[in-house]
Each structure stands twice: as structure tokens, then as C-alpha cells.
């Protein structure tokens, strides 16, 4: 049974054959590794040549090419198999290591893959931290920058909301608003007028202008009587005047 996670990357593949697990030991683990369904096994290796010619594994030391050897064994749980390039009976170059845990075969990652994975994990963590920090950052032209955290929102929800007092307007604001309203009224005079609340607005053209009251004509006789009364009131009665000696 072969479980593929990333088909193009052997580091993401695991392979197991449950029928071999009960009989795995130092002598059978290489035969188990050389199964045809195992994706880690190279068919062009020297092990396959020795197997086809029915020779012992001791002949691998006299050959040149790719071979698989049992590097470490801890029966029945752990086996480590190395893939290496043999250049002479005494000189080999390691290519890859595979470890078998409870019958499941994995490829051991190389140092470059380990460093790459650790760096990507660290960068991802730092990037996530920066993104979360930026989500709490707020800015307003009048206030500047500040932090707004989630626990602060919960505290604000639990706190009783106090009614905000409206600040009274200044004299400058009132005068400025009145001037603007007057300017707008002159530029855009109203077309409809609502004489009483609740009534339908009426166009300004349909409103009848009441004639201004004409001042009543005053008779000349009445004017003289009014003048006499005013002069008499100013002079006062003759009896109360002081006599001059």
C-alpha cells in the first residue's frame, strides 16, 4: 500500500505492505524494500542485478553503481536503509537514507530540505504575526495611530454606555451658519411654502399677497386739537405756574 501526499516529492510519500510486517528482520528487510510497488526503490541498482543473478549481497562490494545497504537495525520497530553510489570497493558516496518504522517506509529529509522547511515555517509565523498586528492598528488624521485589540472591544461592550454630552456651538459657528443659510436662500429661493405644520406645501406663486394698510387721512381740525392738547400738556395748568416778582 502506497500513500501519496505529493507525487513529485519523495519526502511526502510513505509506503507500506502489511503482509511483510510480521516477518520483518535483518535478513528480510532488504527484500521488503526491493518490492516492485515501493516507489523508493531504483530498479537499475546493483541489488537488482545481484538478485537476478542469484548472488549474495557480498558481491556488491565488487561492483560499481547505485546500491542499497542496511545501515542500522532495531528489530522489529526500526530499520535504516542507505542508498549510495559505489565508486570502488573502499569508496562510496551516500545519496539518500530511508527509515522503516513499524513497516512504514519514509525518506529521511536532507539538510537543505530541513533548513528550507524551518525557514519557511519561521517566515510564515512572522508574516502571520505582522498581519495580525496590522489588523489591530488604527489611524485617524486628528488622533494619529493607536492600537485597538479584541479584548478592548469586549471591555467596551461590558461597560455601561455613558451618554455623550453635546458641546454647545460657539458664536462664530452660529453666525457663520446663519450667513451660509442666508446666502443659500438668496441663491436658491424656496418654491413651496408650508404655512401651517401638517398642511400641504403651496407654491410661492399661488400665495396671495395681502395689500398693505393705507394710512387714514387725518382732518386738519383734528390735527389742531392734537397740537393744542400737546402744547397744553407741555406748559401745564396756569394756576400752578410760579409768579415772578
Which pairing describes strands 192-193 and 144-147: parallel, antiparallel, or unpaired? unpaired
**Rounded to whole angstroms, how far apart are CA atoms 70 and 30?**
7
Looking at residue 152, its pLDDT comes to: 66
Share of the chain above pLDDT 90, in %: 31
Looking at residue 227, its pLDDT comes to: 55
Residue 100 has pLDDT above 90, yes or no: yes
- CA 178 from chain centre, in angstroms, equals 45
Residue by residue, DSSP assigns 7-57 as TT-GGGEEEE-TTTGGG-STTTHHHHHT-TT-TT--TTSHHHHHHHTT--G
- 28-37, 50-59, 188-197: which range is least confident on average? 188-197
User: pLDDT grade, residue 2 (50/70/90)?
Assistant: very low
Residue by residue, DSSP assigns 198-242 as TSPPEEGGGSPPPPPPPPPPPPHHHHHHHHHHHHHHHH--GGGSP
Domains observed in the chain: 11-108 (3.10.450.580), 113-154 (no CATH)
C-alpha angle 213-216-221 in degrees, rounded to nearest 5: 170
User: pLDDT grade, residue 1 (50/70/90)?
Assistant: very low
Share of the chain above pLDDT 70, in %: 75
User: Contact 207/191 with Cβ under 8 angstroms?
Assistant: no
Amino acid at each position: 500500500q502506497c500513500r501519496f501526499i505529493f507525487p513529485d516529492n519523495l519526502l511526502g510519500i510513505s509506503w507500506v505492505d502489511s503482509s511483510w510486517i510480521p516477518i520483518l528482520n535483518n535478513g528480510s528487510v532488504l527484500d521488503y524494500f526491493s518490492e516492485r510497488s515501493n516507489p523508493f526503490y531504483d530498479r537499475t541498482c546493483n541489488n537488482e542485478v545481484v538478485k537476478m543473478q542469484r548472488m549474495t549481497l557480498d558481491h556488491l562490494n565488487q561492483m560499481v553503481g547505485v546500491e542499497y545497504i542496511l545501515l542500522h537495525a532495531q528489530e522489529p520497530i526500526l530499520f535504516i536503509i542507505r542508498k549510495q553510489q559505489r565508486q570502488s570497493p573502499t569508496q562510496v558516496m551516500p545519496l539518500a537514507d530511508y527509515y522503516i518504522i513499524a513497516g512504514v517506509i519514509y525518506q529521511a529529509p536532507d539538510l537543505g530540505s530541513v533548513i528550507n522547511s524551518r525557514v519557511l515555517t519561521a517566515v510564515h509565523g512572522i508574516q502571520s504575526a505582522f498581519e495580525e498586528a496590522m489588523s489591530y492598528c488604527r489611524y485617524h488624521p486628528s488622533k494619529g495611530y493607536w492600537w485597538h485589540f479584541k479584548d478592548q472591544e469586549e471591555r467596551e461592550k461590558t461597560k455601561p454606555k455613558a451618554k455623550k454630552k453635546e458641546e454647545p456651538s460657539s458664536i462664530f459657528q452660529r453666525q457663520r451658519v446663519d450667513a451660509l443659510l442666508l446666502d443659500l436662500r438668496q441663491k436658491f429661493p424656496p418654491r413651496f411654502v408650508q404655512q401651517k405644520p401638517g398642511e400641504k406645501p403651496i407654491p410661492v406663486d399661488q400665495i396671495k399677497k395681502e395689500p398693505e394698510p393705507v394710512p387714514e387721512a387725518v382732518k386738519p381740525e383734528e390735527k389742531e386739537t392734537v397740537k393744542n392738547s400737546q402744547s397744553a400738556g407741555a406748559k401745564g395748568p396756569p394756576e400752578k405756574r410760579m409768579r415772578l416778582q
